[in-house]
Amino acid sequence: MKRRTSLQLIAVILLIPLSAKDTNGHPSISEAVQLIEVWLDAQRDYEGLPGLSAAVVHDQKTMWSGGFGYSNPDKKRKTDSKTIHSICSISKLFTAIAIMQLRDEGKIRLDDPVSNHLPWFNIENNYPNRGEATVQNILTHSSGLPRESDYPYWSPPDFPFPSRDAIKGKVSDQNTLYPANTYFQYSNLGLTLAGEIVAEVSGFDFDSYIEKNIFRPLGMMNTRTEMPEKLYGNQLAVGHAARNREGDRPKVELFHAEGIGPAAGFSSTADDLAKFASWQFRLLGDDGHEVLKSNTLREMHRVHFLDDDWQPAWGLGFSIWRNGEKKFVGHGGSCPGYRSQLLIQPKSKIATVFMTNASSVNSRKFAQELYNIFAPAVESANSGDDAQVINQDFKDYLGHYSEAPWGGETAVISWKGELSMLPLPTKSPVDAVARLQHMEDDVFRRIRDDDELGEEIRFERDKTGKVVRMWQHQNFAPRIR
């Protein structure tokens, strides 16, 4: 959807009477889509992101997916929901699923020491009287292993990731950091070892196993255990660094995770991760067996390790956290030039995906806000309530108004059936929305948080009847689009 026509098209949608049973076309869903598109489009510009893509899932439906900006700014190639990004540490979820498949087949026990399956794993154990790393420990990041293999692969400009053989050859030179099963220490080395266990126990090379047993059955045709170099700069987005002092985001060289692949090497799209989320909702709602047993996925979603300070909580491969009263599971990814997040709320069966080809971005915050926008809309649509639709006479006011030099802009949108104002940029769009109550003609008043009426908001028209300004507190903001 083109950014210049987004509000106009959404306005048309909102003015059409719709059945409350039609979830996809429910007014609350349409408003949520409008808010997501206006917000993501603005945040991309204000945070200087080359491009971003996202998706929102409810159970078996992708309720919305899309992209903004460019996967390759030099070629002006636009980002969409089929744009491929590095998903970095989200890779760990697929590696963990492979481990649990083999566990269910009786080929692995979670309490097996890692060395039982990898005879070459001879790291120096600084705490031999406290036991050794197990399969479960490495899935919960409580193994006591160091964070990384002993190579500087996160260092620019070439990111020298080691081969599998190099990792094996160097592990004997490393030492455990903590006693096993004592402290949380996020470990790419641990999940790399999990991938080696998958290959050793299954008899397949790791990439082939994941493709055959996870990607293909789930129809994830644009997800790979590597970065597809032939697609780089086209379907595969070009990565960019954090903003420097000049405000630029320099390009980052394409990397290949090589032997660290099981922990950080995968690539995917917003659409494919949406499929991955829908599969989990499907499995959680059944007692069947599709890729995994239902109870095995439930087991992975439960807390298996909690550090002494009660944070973080970790399942089997899955990160687990709370926001308010709700439990979320998922994983984030941060690799050179890319950030991503998969967020799943199992009870409401809502998931969000966020991906960008830029570093130093709070991807979980983006994914959480997408959830905060959509969850109430889905609840309203599913309840069968007759959601209020914005008065068609108000469509003239929809648009963007400049707040320069004091700030960015204000978007006038529909929210909860009322004309509303959204300041941009904003980290929390739902909290930032201010609803308006119509008084007369082009005059409104802001509805305060306590539902009392606040200051007057007046829209000014030119001689042709077009709205050109928005007045608030005796000052005006010119309309910019």
112 and 236 share one domain: yes
The percent of residues above 70 in pLDDT, for the chain, comes to 94
| Helices vs. strands in the chain: H and E counts, helices first | 14, 21
Identify the domain containing residue 462 by its residue range. Answer: 6-46+386-478
Q: Is 477 helix (H, G, I), strand (E, B) or coil?
A: strand
231 and 275 share one domain: yes
> Is pLDDT above 80 for 20?
no
Within a domain: residue 42? yes
Domain boundary, last residue among 340, 358, 376: 358
Beta bridge partners of 371: none
Within a domain: residue 146? yes
Q: What is the mean pLDDT of the chain?
A: 93
Which one-letter amino acid corresponds to residue 346? P
Whole-angstrom distance, CA of residue 264 vs CA of residue 151: 15
346 and 287 share one domain: yes
Q: What is the pLDDT of residues 265-309, one digit of tens each?
A: 999 999 999 999 999 999 999 888 999 999 999 999 999 999 888
236 and 306 share one domain: yes
Within a domain: residue 79? no
Question: Cα angle vertex 276, ends 58, 429, to 5°?
Answer: 45
Identify the CATH number of the domain in which residue 327 sits: 3.40.710.10
Confidence of residue 221 (pLDDT cuts 50, 70, 90): very high
Question: Cα angle vertex 250, ends 239, 224, to 5°?
Answer: 10
Whole-angstrom distance, CA of residue 334 vs CA of residue 87: 7
**Count of structural domains within the chain:** 2
Q: What is the pLDDT of residues 122-171, one digit of tens each?
A: 999 999 999 999 999 999 999 999 999 999 999 999 999 999 999 999 99
171 and 304 share one domain: yes
> Is pLDDT above 60 for 405?
yes
pLDDT of residue 385: 67
458 and 330 share one domain: no
126 and 195 share one domain: yes
Across the range 465-475, mean pLDDT stands at 97
132 and 221 share one domain: yes
pLDDT of residue 387: 65
pLDDT of residue 24: 66
Across the range 416-433, mean pLDDT stands at 96
353 and 399 share one domain: no
> Is pLDDT above 70 for 8?
no
Residue with tokens 């899932």: 57
